[in-house]
Structure 1
């Protein structure tokens, strides 16, 4: 029998590599695949060196970056010249944080699925190990205006031992983080700005709590501010970190749909919680569900999809009523008893399509069980049976 060969351990990053990646995190925008391609070709130190020290004659063109636009390269060079990576690293260390790069034992290797759009590094604050937490995590995203479902689902996921990952925005994101914290669970906030810059401002205290009890993560160096494009690009990190993405309430143009689509492209599970068809907040979720997303209604169903083999959600069914335990022939006679007024057994037999003798036998059985009672020459439903029977026939 062939012995499985373990995956090779990542090569630890050198101090120069870490410093170069810190500089490049201030030089190029998150998810820039052009930069990712040159990073793969030259390495972080080589890429940065070619930006800071262009060869003679290529100072006004793209030089060693053929196929990359002049404006883009000029922007990289301008930012690289102004970068002070040692200062950024000192700032994050003074905050009790760290800068993770590929090769670190804490680096989540599933981010490598992003290929050339992989983060240059991650600025992290919080006491937990990001790689360990990411192995058992689920993204919970959705609308800014939301119902309490987000908090409820996040709390349930936390109680199941899952790490809840979201973007710390208003609405579902904030509810997801609060729900996980309230349940004593684990949560990760992925920011579209520096980890020293709480955004939105209204979530300053929430982000501080996450820093103390969970993890706050970002691609951008300290003092970086969010922009609309950075929010969209941040979503790919949320999708790549986690084993699946759950969308709770989202309009057609919601950024949370971008997270779900990124998850689908990466081969992660995408899930949606349905809502009223009359609500614009649910329109985006329903669009996902018409595609390849899976409908889920609670944490058990989420865990069934993304958890270990054999973790099945409990079977769902309505309550078992006494009439459900009746034999089919007896239940058929019960259905034939009119909802109002005593009725002769012969009429009930005609309605049930059985013989009078069989019907009478079943009526006495129903009487002993408390479903029917005799009134003179007729039979009627008992008071306890009438409402349920009437409702079964469409009454009120």
Structure 2
């Protein structure tokens, strides 16, 4: 792969200062004119008399004004000094799954960190959720992200307070890979309280942004950032989300793109789990740990362990022996003939089964009769009480 030429790279870097993330009419212009052609239309001689489809004269004048001020050479030079690089469609490092966004595809991405984005994105999972999360949600996000990181998955999130931060910390604590997709420049610490966390992510993973260095976030940019998280990863896990949570935008975008959508259930009484439960009532898959996530999004053979209850001693008995045991009433001894009638087995086989149960401590001999041992009788009584209470 030869990659984009210098003119293409400069044009796309300039356009990150001209077009807002996710502007579909900008994507249509790029398809029609190419990045170099579009910049020439916005800045070249006679550009003020050139109309572009989809926008009016006033808005087009705004694009031209931003294009005239853009200095991609300076942006790229200053970015390189800060360890930031720019990749765009056609670059060897460009993740082609972002092309699924169509005309809403990023013009390019600014990256801070050493790993290769293309290779990382092939095995990545988004973990997102509420900013004002509960301790339960933070714990689940951190444990789930740590487990995914230990299994070799890249944990992608948005570096916000709450679930996002817990997910990044879980992956970092496990010594694994994590990437933060920002709604601002990759050199801007937002939120400011996560400046240290973003520094750790950049040192151990990747910080990703559509906006050029120095750009600050706006509410709409947060929403549009979520489409990149959804497209970049193989699936999205939502851990706590109210009905109007922005993390649900990521999940629904993932569904539209044909990615896996998962949710971690919470208490039915928690407003912060209402949005997750709505997802789970639809096409989302319920998950409770990293193994279940990996089973869904991973390769063939990445199976979660089968969940089984404790193995009881009576589980190891043969079916006929269990029938004899169940034929013994609690609290009184009975003779062998009564047991044979109750379980429908011959007397000779019953006596053999009773001696087997006696050797294992399930029954006791009382003269000519047999009865459940005290320990077995207590277990039967407890089981019966549990069943009655469960109705």
The TM-score with structure 2 as length reference comes to 0.90
Change in CA separation of 1:175 and 1:347 when aligned onto 2, cut-off 3 Å: farther
**Alignment counterpart, residue 29 of structure 1, candidates 9, 20, 26:** 20
Q: Secondary structure, in 3 states, of the residue corresponding to 2:53? A: coil
Q: How far apart, CA to CA, are the structure 2 residues paired with 1:168 and 1:39?
A: 30
Q: How far apart, CA to CA, are the structure 1 residues paired with 2:124 and 2:175?
A: 15
* CA offsets 1:264-311 (integer angstroms, 9 cap, x no match): 111111122222222222221221122222222222222222212232
Aligned 8 A contact 2:138 2:166 in 1: no
**Alignment counterpart, residue 376 of structure 2, candidates 356, 373, 385:** 385
Task: Compute the displacement of 1:348 (Å).
Answer: 6.0
Q: How far apart, CA to CA, are the structure 1 residues paired with 2:266 and 2:279?
A: 12
Select between 78-87 and 112-121 the one with higher mean Cα deviation.
Answer: 78-87
Task: Compute the displacement of 1:360 (Å).
Answer: 5.3
Change in CA separation of 1:168 and 1:121 when aligned onto 2, cut-off 3 Å: same
Task: Compute the displacement of 1:56 (Å).
Answer: 7.0
Task: Compute the displacement of 1:379 (Å).
Answer: 4.4
Q: How far apart, CA to CA, are the structure 2 residues paired with 1:72 and 1:344?
A: 94
Q: How far apart, CA to CA, are the structure 2 residues paired with 1:327 and 1:53?
A: 88
Change in CA separation of 1:254 and 1:348 when aligned onto 2, cut-off 3 Å: farther
Matched, 1:116 2:108: no
Task: Compute the displacement of 1:349 (Å).
Answer: 6.3
* CA offsets 1:41-87 (integer angstroms, 9 cap, x no match): 111122122222473773xxxx4312323443233223223323233
Aligned 8 A contact 1:50 1:64 in 2: no
Matched, 1:45 2:29: no
Counterpart position of 1:261: 252
Give RMSD over aligned pairs: 2.3
**Alignment counterpart, residue 326 of structure 2, candidates 313, 323, 335:** 335
Higher normalized helix content (fraction of residues): 2
Q: Secondary structure, in 3 states, of the residue corresponding to 1:246? A: strand
Task: Compute the displacement of 1:115 (Å).
Answer: 1.2
Which sections of structure 2, spanning at least 5 residues, go unmatched?
A: none
Counterpart position of 1:182: 173
Matched, 1:366 2:357: yes
Change in CA separation of 1:46 and 1:334 when aligned onto 2, cut-off 3 Å: same
Task: Compute the displacement of 1:112 (Å).
Answer: 1.0
Aligned 8 A contact 1:264 1:270 in 2: yes
* CA offsets 1:227-263 (integer angstroms, 9 cap, x no match): 1111111111111111111112222111111111111
Select between 201-210 and 19-28 the one with higher mean Cα deviation.
Answer: 19-28
**Alignment counterpart, residue 8 of structure 2, candidates 17, 25, 29:** 17
Q: Secondary structure, in 3 states, of the residue corresponding to 1:314? A: coil
Change in CA separation of 1:392 and 1:137 when aligned onto 2, cut-off 3 Å: same
Counterpart position of 1:85: 72
Change in CA separation of 1:204 and 1:347 when aligned onto 2, cut-off 3 Å: farther
> Which residues in structure 2 correspond to 1:107-256 (within 5 Å)?
107-144=94-131, 145=133, 146-256=137-247
Q: Secondary structure, in 3 states, of the residue corresponding to 2:385? A: coil
* CA offsets 1:3-42 (integer angstroms, 9 cap, x no match): xxxxxx4x52122221221121111110000111001111
Q: Secondary structure, in 3 states, of the residue corresponding to 2:207? A: strand
